[in-house]
Amino acid sequence: MSFQLQYTSLDEIQSTYDDLQKTFRAGKARPLAWRQHQLRQLLLMLNENQQAIVGALQADLNKPAAESLLGEVGAGIRTAERTLARVEEWVKPELVAVDEWQQSWSPTINKTPKGVVLIISPWNYPFILNIQPLIGAISAGCPAVLKPSEISAHTSALLADLIHKYLDNSTYRVVNGAVKETTYLLELKWDHIFYTGNSKVARIIATAAAKHLTPCTLELGGKSPVVVDAAHTDLKLAAKRILWGKTTNAGQICVAPDYILIPRDAQDAFIEALKEAYSTFHPGGALGSDSYGSIVSKGHYDRLQDLIKRTTAKPVIGGGSDGQRTIEPTVYRDVTQGDALLEGEIFGPLLPLVPVDNIQEAIEFINERSHPLALYVFTDDPEVKQAFVEQTLSGSLVFNDVFQHLSVGELPFQGIGESGYGAQHLKYTFDGFTHHRATVDIPFSAEPILARRYPPYQKA
């Protein structure tokens, strides 16, 4: 029996919006001590409900417990702990360095909360992709509404329950619903909108936000390519790391390796390395494995099946499915331009190998397409690394692994162009929800310096 998520009524959405606007105007969320208390409450929520979170993710995505504890619960705890430890420093006004004649003006950057923020998150990482921006909103002193995905219904229901129990209800709320509820939310005037998802929906959100001149953070996806410089890398280790990235959450990750550009003469050796890694990960096959997840919904499963039918490439690894919601990790060789697998973001466990003649051809292949959210390059050649730094554009550039830039909270996580704009991670999320307000306090004693501005003006 399918789980029925309780949607929020439009009247309740309006009252939630009104309540949070009053809370912001009253300044309730601004004091540092209050923010720190809410962060401690969030940490308490994460620590006390780990098994409930794992259970909800299991119900929605058949996600292995180890993946949930590491990538959702653990990541949330680490982000909240580091934010709590640093927020006191982040909120301090910054006195800026200026020329000597302006030093008496006390030129300062004050960290002012933007206001009430709306956080719209996807189904693929339905817990952490709500929690991370929420942590940023709390640290910035902003009330927030979370709108989780109706597709990951169990996790969305759990979020609503936990936020209500652990956080201040006049400041943080969860709105559940589908298109009608989201459309109504987007008609309201927010002070910032944070959206994680695909570019099609992002255009709808950005259009709605533009009516109110509302700033946005858009964390999108796209096709994140992998380049394997076979002459200057460990093929077996590269295959292991790439396959792990492709099969985590069954490939349903915005920064998942989407396709691999591989030297033509190294394709066969790389396929053998992938086969070895696959047999190590899932000795009995991925279907039915406790270490492998499912596709989130029948609709997305059917979309991937349609992609499998339309590709002209043949699988050399995997290719099976259970007819329900699980698709075996599947590797295709000799994929060429124009193939269905290269049309749009795959967002599933299908991995095309695209043979190229050299590294420069790989760079040109990438540059002919939209800027990816992540670009992965496996090489130990400094010149090749520098070529990708100088000749390509992507949200992030990672050498010799996948995903690990996400674990470095001191780096911004952001897209560029089609993969989004605005940054997040620790202080970057805080900054996104904060207005950096310039202030000067010009003393009357500065009058001799300013006297020349008054008319009548002296002739030059």
Give the integer Cα–Cα distance in Å for 358 and 353: 14
**What would the two tokens of residue 174 be?**
């969860």
Q: Which CATH class is domain 224-407?
A: alpha beta
| Cβ(288)–Cβ(331) below 8 Å | no
Residue 449: is its pLDDT beyond 60?
yes
The ranges assigned to domains in the chain are 10-220+415-439, 224-407
CB neighbour burial string for 15-54, b if at least 16 within 10 angstroms, e if fewer: ebbebbbebbeeebbeeeebbbebbebbbebbeebbeebb
Q: Out of 67, 181, 216, 254, which one is annotated catalytic?
A: 254
Percent of the chain with pLDDT over 90: 95
* pLDDT, tens only, 332-350: 999 999 999 999 999 999 9
Count of CB atoms situated within 10 Å of the CB of 195: 26
Q: What is the largest CA-CA distance in the chain?
A: 90
Residues 6+ apart with CB under 8 A from 79: 131, 132, 135, 409, 426
- 216: annotated active-site residue: no
* pLDDT, tens only, 259-313: 999 999 999 999 999 999 999 999 999 998 999 999 988 899 999 999 999 999 9
Residue with tokens 């990750």: 253
Beta-strand relationship, 108-113 and 94-95: antiparallel
Judged by DSSP in three states, 112 sits in: strand
pLDDT attached to residue 1: 38
| Cβ(307)–Cβ(162) below 8 Å | no
Region 10-220+415-439: CATH code: 3.40.605.10
The residue among 200, 172, 193 whose CA lies nearest residue 117 is 193
The residue among 176, 142, 131, 149 whose CA lies nearest residue 41 is 131
> 238: part of which helix (H) or strand (E)?
helix 235-247
* pLDDT, tens only, 121-168: 998 889 999 999 999 999 999 999 999 999 999 999 999 999 999 999
> 196: part of which helix (H) or strand (E)?
strand 192-196
Question: Could you say which DSSP state residue 28 is in?
Answer: T
Give the integer Cα–Cα distance in Å for 118 and 7: 17
Percent of the chain with pLDDT over 70: 99
Q: Out of 67, 181, 219, 328, which one is annotated catalytic?
A: 219
* pLDDT, tens only, 9-35: 999 999 999 999 999 999 999 999 999
| Cβ(117)–Cβ(141) below 8 Å | no
- 254: annotated active-site residue: yes
pLDDT attached to residue 2: 60
pTM metric for this prediction: 0.95
Task: Decide whether 10-220+415-439 matches 224-407 in CATH topology.
Answer: no
Banded pLDDT at 187 (limits 50, 70, 90): very high
* pLDDT, tens only, 355-368: 999 999 999 999 99
